[in-house]
Amino acid sequence: MAKILKFAAVGIDHRHIFGQIQNMLDVGAEFAGWWTEGEPETLDGFVKRFDGAHRFASLEELLGDASIELILVASLPCDRAGHAISAMQAGKDVMVDKPGCTTLEQLDQIKQCVAETKRIWSIDFSERFEVASVTKAASLVQSGAIGKVIQTLGMGPHRLNRPSRPDWFFDRQSYGGIICDIASHQIDQFLYFTGSTDAQIRMATVGNYANPDDKGLQDFGEVALQSDNGHGYIRVDWYTPDALPTWGDGRLTILGTEGYIELRKYVDVARDTTIDNLFLVNGTRHEQIDCSDAGYPYFQNLANDIAQRTETAMPQAHAFKVMELALKAQAMAEQMQPAGHWS
């Protein structure tokens, strides 16, 4: 009988932890319990959804449980590096919510820890790994449906939902800046779909145009990337209007030499309320493709990687490079930003 993977959660400050846990449960892993600092806004909903899950009295107690192999981290973004390092030093592999860290110094510490411990540090980029249309798009690209990918155009709009946001959401040092936080999703997708292992940052900007009283908030960001394989443009923001029936109209266009794919991930405005809308256009086809059978292979692949010490879910170098580019783009944007747009 195959060994069952046991995992635990450290930090439930971001609701992405709900998806992290559920997706590991869906591939047959066992939820051993959780620990978090204090009582974050997510606590009531978390306890209701994972009723009966054991709450460890301390982080030390949780990390001391030798039966736990995987730690899921969704604490404050600025705390994730420290929690991941503690977990790896305790002999655990780690799946962290994006962003995986908020400073280049933290990233260097994580790299050193991975080198010393040989543990896995993986980032759950939910806008790729928890979206079936992206799974389907990856399959189409790999089959040659649009030729060689030369550009990705990634849009990551979000609804501010001010009443539900904790104080740390408006603190630049806590969340790391809008490019580090949100655009790391789109940087991940650019590297993945263009098959790039590195890139140059051609342009990066951030601003606060709609929320002047929130001095630490960046409500707009954009990045342009270029690699030996392709180009990428990214726009992220906190401007999603209330009339949209979901939290954001996230889109991805993948341009190839022989066609293109457009993903309307979460909504198809004014047409229907379905998610995972994928449109393919090439020399012989122009159609909308059903993505319902695509699934989320990242989670099973990660479980396999933990057992076999492989890198099928996400190459370790890819996780490092995504955060390196996000943090460098964030720094470039803040250095170039005119005074008054954010502080």
Residue 276 and residue 150 share a domain: yes
CATH number at residue 141: 3.30.360.10
Predicted confidence band at 341 (pLDDT cuts at 50, 70, 90)? low
- The answer to whether residue 74 is domain-embedded is yes
Distance CA 146, CA 254 (A): 9
Residue-wise pLDDT tens digits, 23-50: 999 999 999 999 999 999 999 999 999 9
What is the SS3 assignment for the chain?
CCCCCEEEEECCCCCHHHHHHHHHHHCCCEEEEEECCCCCCCHHHHHHHCCCCCECCCHHHHHCCCCCCEEEECCCHHHHHHHHHHHHHCCCEEEEECCCCCCHHHHHHHHHHHHHHCCCEEEECHHHHCCHHHHHHHHHHHCCCCCCEEEEEEEEECCCCHHHCCHHHHCHHHHCCHHHHHHHHHHHHHHHHHCCCCCEEEEEEEECCCCCCCCCCCCEEEEEEECCCCEEEEEEECCCCCCCCCCCCCEEEEEECCEEEEEECCCECCCECCCCEEEEEECCCEEEECCCCCCCHHHHHHHHHHHHCCCCCCCHHHHHHHHHHHHHHHHHHHHHCCCCCCC
- The answer to whether residue 13 is domain-embedded is yes
CATH number at residue 110: 3.40.50.720
Predicted confidence band at 338 (pLDDT cuts at 50, 70, 90)? low
Predicted confidence band at 336 (pLDDT cuts at 50, 70, 90)? confident
Residue-wise pLDDT tens digits, 87-128: 999 999 999 999 999 999 999 999 999 999 999 999 999 999
Residue 1 reports pLDDT greater than 80: no
pLDDT of residue 69: 98
- The answer to whether residue 115 is domain-embedded is yes
pTM of the model: 0.96
Residue 172 reports pLDDT greater than 70: yes
- The answer to whether residue 1 is domain-embedded is no
Average pLDDT, the chain: 96
And the tokens for 133? Answer: 């249309």
pLDDT of residue 38: 95
Predicted confidence band at 166 (pLDDT cuts at 50, 70, 90)? very high
Predicted confidence band at 340 (pLDDT cuts at 50, 70, 90)? very low
Mean pLDDT of 326-334: 98
The dihedrals phi and psi of 53, each to the nearest 5 degrees, come to -65, 140
What spatial distance separates the first Cα and last Cα of the chain, rounded to whole Å? 57
What is the tally of structural domains in the chain? 2
Distance CA 120, CA 70 (A): 9
Residue 264 and residue 134 share a domain: yes
pLDDT of residue 171: 97
Distance CA 100, CA 103 (A): 10
Residue 297 reports pLDDT greater than 70: yes
Q: Which of 124, 148, 182 is the last residue of a domain?
A: 124
Mean pLDDT of 177-182: 98
Predicted confidence band at 339 (pLDDT cuts at 50, 70, 90)? very low
Question: Contact, 242 vs 215, CB < 8 A?
Answer: no
Question: Contact, 126 vs 98, CB < 8 A?
Answer: yes
Structural domain harbouring 45: 6-124
Residue 156 and residue 25 share a domain: no
Distance CA 184, CA 207 (A): 17
List the one residue out of 256, 250, 294 whose CA is nearest residue 268.
250
Question: Contact, 288 vs 68, CB < 8 A?
Answer: no
Predicted confidence band at 342 (pLDDT cuts at 50, 70, 90)? low
Residue 119 and residue 151 share a domain: no
Residue-wise pLDDT tens digits, 74-89: 999 999 999 999 999 9
CA angle 246, 247, 250 (to 5 degrees): 95
pLDDT of residue 220: 98
Residue 150 and residue 283 share a domain: yes
Residue 102 and residue 42 share a domain: yes
Residue-wise pLDDT tens digits, 219-276: 999 999 999 999 999 999 999 999 999 999 999 999 999 999 999 999 999 887 789 9
Distances (CA, A) of 341 to 74, 201, 210, 217, 336: 29, 21, 10, 10, 11
Count of alpha carbons within 13 angstroms of residue 242, beta-carbon side: 2
- The answer to whether residue 65 is domain-embedded is yes
Question: Contact, 197 vs 317, CB < 8 A?
Answer: yes
